[in-house]
Amino acid sequence: MATSPFPAVEKCSSTDRGGDTVVADLDGTLLCGRSSFPYFAHMAFETGGVLRLLLLIALAPLAGLLYYSVSESAGIQVLIFASMAGARLADIEAVARAVLPKFYCSDLHPESWRVFSACGRRCVLTANPRVMVEAFLKDYAGADLVIGTELVTWRGRATGLVQSPGVLVGEKKADALRRAFGGDVARRPEVGLGDRRTDYPFMRLCKEAYVVVPAAPSRRKKPVPREDLPRPVVFHDGRLVQNPSPALALLTALWIPIGFVLACLRIAAGALLPMRVVYHAFRCLGVRVTVKGTPPPPASRETGQTGVLFICSHRTLLDPIFLSTALGRPITAVTYSGLDPFYFFMNPSPGYVVTFLNKLPRELTCSGGKTSHEVANYIQRLIASTLSYECTSFTRKDKYKALAGNDGTVVSKPNIDKKKVMGC
């Protein structure tokens, strides 16, 4: 790598920066990873499924060739087109709000974050689509202003093209910064952070500029711990458990047909075989089931054993399925999310741990004088401590607001006059 005209970010002081403005690039600067492909892969898979992911993988070599041989702008434009063309803008916003923050938060560069978080006003200038990164940067990184590439939309869908002046790289970043802060020298940002030559134009507009030098894999610094972030990621909704590199994305896409057949076999075993042999059938099919604690005996009139109400963490529909497997008998469950078993059982060798806790004492139940809210809150705290989770004060409406952008309320349809005939 050529010598940079700017000092390394490690030399930037983070003290007494409360009145300063910082402008930082995203990939390779605020984030440890220099490639935006994993996040486009998440977007492609969540908005368009495996077919769109395959399209992105097929065009990834072309994007890389254009990126390094022609221009960064051309390479990024290919990624934008492959992952977003035809997708509903509402779906893109939902993925940006409910899926990507978890992965962005787990890849924050410690030195860049030290400087960025110390400044009073924070701006991010990125080549990525603004709609794709704004939710994370404003809600979790505390950014006040996000300047990114703007998408062209038509009837609520992304066309895969970008608005003028195009993908923000090189001088276009500098022009965008001038438009945001004006040409007044006194309004120039105090600190500029970048990681590559195409960031230098906007960095020169700042009073101070520092570069994030890429480190060798063996010397790469650990990302910022999640507890150091201004706001933790509580709600997450995604189907991939880690950031997919091009090779991992290809393997995932190739595995899906095999995984689907395997999932069908596993689901059929759980649904058709007697419950007493399901545990062993799962083991033969590569599903690891671990049972901790003492399962309660079934209800029996002869012994006077009454029935038991089980309270699960309710993360997925799989909780009652594996509870039945651990008990060796069927149970009645009230739940939803019917596709959860397919995605779980499509993994090569999934594992599930069922832990039986002690029966709730009578004095901690409604029969003992406790209200239903007190009982529910106690059980939630008990389950959370067992799973090493931390309880929050978030409500159901907060969850829907974070994941779907609404409060989860379904508006009832107005009553239609029975005498009125509807037709088309």
| pLDDT tens string 160-219 | 999 999 999 999 999 999 998 876 656 789 999 999 999 999 999 999 999 999 877 767
Shared domain for 75 and 201, answered yes or no, is yes
Shared domain for 18 and 141, answered yes or no, is yes
At which of 174, 201, 228 does a domain end? 228
Shared domain for 313 and 283, answered yes or no, is yes
Q: Is residue 26 part of a domain?
A: yes
Shared domain for 385 and 256, answered yes or no, is yes
Averaged over 110-124, what is the pLDDT?
94
Shared domain for 220 and 263, answered yes or no, is no
The CATH number of residue 164's host domain is 3.40.50.1000
Q: Is residue 412 part of a domain?
A: no
Look at the chain and report how many structural domains it folds into.
2
Shared domain for 268 and 394, answered yes or no, is yes
Q: How many CA atoms lie within 13 A of 330 on its CB side?
A: 6
Contacts of 402 (CB under 8 A, 6+ apart): 97, 98, 234, 235
| Higher local confidence (pLDDT), 41 or 401 | 41
Q: Is residue 236 part of a domain?
A: no
Shared domain for 134 and 38, answered yes or no, is yes
Shared domain for 294 and 201, answered yes or no, is no
Domain that includes residue 40, residue range: 9-228
Shared domain for 201 and 90, answered yes or no, is yes
Predicted confidence (pLDDT) at residue 264 exceeds the cutoff of 60: yes
Radius of gyration of the chain (CA): 26
For 13-49, what is each residue's pLDDT tens digit?
Answer: 989 999 999 999 999 999 999 999 999 999 999 999 8
Mean pLDDT of the chain: 87
Q: Is residue 235 part of a domain?
A: no
Predicted confidence (pLDDT) at residue 424 exceeds the cutoff of 60: no
From the list 31, 33, 86, 27, the residue with the least C-alpha distance to 56 is 86
Shared domain for 156 and 189, answered yes or no, is yes
pTM: 0.85
For 125-137, what is each residue's pLDDT tens digit?
Answer: 999 999 999 999 9
The amino acid sitting at 269 is A
Q: Is residue 233 part of a domain?
A: no
Shared domain for 157 and 252, answered yes or no, is no
Shared domain for 123 and 181, answered yes or no, is yes
What are the φ/ψ torsions at residue 358 (nearest 5 degrees)?
Answer: -70, 155
Q: Is residue 335 part of a domain?
A: yes
